[in-house]
Amino acid sequence: MTRRPDGALETDVLRVLWAADGPLPPGEIKERLDAGYAYTSVATILTRLQAKGLVVRTPSGRAYAYSAAVEEPDLAVRRISELLDSSSDRTQVLSRFIGGLSKKEAKAIQAMLDKANSPNGRP
pLDDT of 21 higher than 80? yes
- Pair 45, 4: CB distance under 8 Å: no
Q: Helix, strand or coil for residue 2?
A: coil
Residue 43 has pLDDT above 90, yes or no: yes
pLDDT at 25 over 70: yes
pLDDT digit string (tens) for 56-114?
999 999 989 999 999 999 999 998 999 999 999 999 999 999 999 999 999 999 999 99
Amino acid at 83: L
The share of the chain scoring above pLDDT 70, in percent, equals: 93
- Architecture of the domain defined by 8-68: Orthogonal Bundle (1.10)
Give 69's contacts (C-beta < 8 A, 6+ positions apart): 53, 54, 55, 56
**What residue ranges do the domains of the chain occupy?**
8-68
Instruction: Give the per-residue pLDDT at 120.
Output: 73
Helical H segments across 36-89, by residue range? 39-51, 72-86
Question: What pTM did the predictor assign?
Answer: 0.76
